[in-house]
Each structure stands twice: as structure tokens, then as C-alpha cells.
A and B are shown apart, each in its own frame.
Chain A
């Protein structure tokens, strides 16, 4: 069964600290993996997109890693800011020929950054 599991479900950190969010998936065959940030009351916004051949990708203070062998990904946030408070969603896309396959969404990790 194709699934995407994220941990932790929620996380509270102090401003300026680093944190790492986890995503484990069983989606196969795998096309690409995306991390999104969803602010309260807003639609998700893409942070990173990684194909199976990429191990790491950065976007400012956000760094995503991917281990396609173990089917694990992580999102590392450096020097957290209050504006990082949001839900972070891991999305895995099923490979389906040359077209975009079905999307599988994780439940998200709710991150709260305290001053």
C-alpha cells in the first residue's frame, strides 16, 4: 500500500534553534518527493522538489535530504524564525510513464517556533 508517514506530528522549538522533520514513504515506483510549507489559512507552498537521483537540495534555510534506498526524507530547518511556524507536508509522486502520477500526501508536521 502506498503511504507517506511524517514525524513528529507536532514540534515546538525556540527561535534560532535548528530542527529536522522526517518523512518515510512506501510509494513505488517513485518519481519525486516534495516538501511544502502550509501557513494557517493558506495553500501549501513548495519548498523543495527532489527526484530519486538527488540526495540533497537546499532552499535558503531549508535543506531536504533523500535516501531512495531506505525511502526516507528529512527537512532540516536552520536558525528557525517565528515565520517558520507552519505545517510542513511531505508529498511523494508515483511514477506513471512520462506524466505526473498520483500524489500521496503526508499528514504534515505542525511546527511552532516560540520567541
Chain B
């Protein structure tokens, strides 16, 4: 199975600042995704991180607010820009591992608190 790490595991940020979250996978994967999980809520897909091209965003999420980079097949970053308290959530990356029958593996998540 793919092993995924995220940095930081948690952070507390001031309103108006930005936070960049890193996602590292121990093997090359075709598809990487970013999700948000607000308190007590289900996971919501933010975007698909595409290697070498712009990310594909879901409805309600825009590149200016959530810029994503995917420089290679094992690494991606998500930046949450111009933070507001409403951005306080857990942010998770996930990967699709076609070797394991399209199994989807999730990272441990980054808990963001915006003051």
C-alpha cells in the first residue's frame, strides 16, 4: 500500500495569512487529491492535483484560494490563501493506487485552526 505523509500535522494561523501543506507519497502514483473535512462533516473533494498541469477544481473551490502544485508523481502541495476562521478544517491528501485495484489511500491530515 502507498504510505502518505503530510506536513505540517497541525498549525494555528492568523487571519489573512496563508498556509502551505505538503503531501509526500512513498511511491509514484498517477492521481493525487486534496480534501477538506470541516468539524463534524464529511470529506469534501477540493481538487485533483495533476502532474505537470493545472489542478482540476471541484465546484465551489478556486485556484486563487487553493493553489495546488504537483511537480512530480510523489509530491504535491496545497496552499490555503487569505485565511479566515471558516477555513479551520482538516485538510487531507489522498492517492489512487491502481496497483491495489484502484485503492484510495489517505494521508493523516493537517489540522488547521485560523484565529
Measuring CB to CB, which residues of chain A are less than 8 angstroms from any residue of chain B? Answer: 4, 32, 34, 36, 41-46, 49, 89, 100, 102-103, 105-108
CB distance from B112 to the nearest CB of A (A): 13
How many of chain B's residues touch chain A, expressed as a range?
A: 20 to 34
* A4-B42 Cα distance, complex, nearest whole Å: 10
* A34-B44 Cα distance, complex, nearest whole Å: 16
Instruction: Identify which of residues 7-63 in chain B touch chain A, using a CB-to-CB cut-off of 8 Å.
Output: 31, 40-45, 58
Say yes or no: A43-B104 contact (C-beta < 8 A), given A89-B43, A102-B45, A105-B43: no
Task: Tell me the nearest residue of chain A to B45, going by C-beta.
Answer: A103
B40 contact set on A, CB distance < 8 A = 107
CB distance from A6 to the nearest CB of B (A): 9
Residue pair B31, A44 in contact (C-beta under 8 Å)? no
Say yes or no: A46-B101 contact (C-beta < 8 A), given A105-B42, A108-B42: no
Residue pair A43, B42 in contact (C-beta under 8 Å)? no
Residue pair B107, A105 in contact (C-beta under 8 Å)? no
Q: Which of B43, B45, B96, B111 contacts A44 (CB 8 A)?
A: B43
A selection of 12 A-B contacts at a CB cut-off of 8 Å is A41-B108, A44-B106, A45-B106, A46-B103, A46-B105, A49-B102, A49-B103, A103-B45, A105-B42, A106-B42, A107-B40, A108-B42
Q: Which of B58, B101, B107 contacts A43 (CB 8 A)?
A: B107
Task: Tell me the nearest residue of chain A to B10, going by C-beta.
Answer: A41
Residue pair A42, B108 in contact (C-beta under 8 Å)? yes
Task: Tell me the nearest residue of chain A to B9, going by C-beta.
Answer: A41
> B92 at interface (Cβ–Cβ under 8 A)?
yes
A32 contact set on B, CB distance < 8 A = 102
Closest 4 A/B residue pairs (Cβ): A43-B106, A105-B42, A107-B42, A105-B43
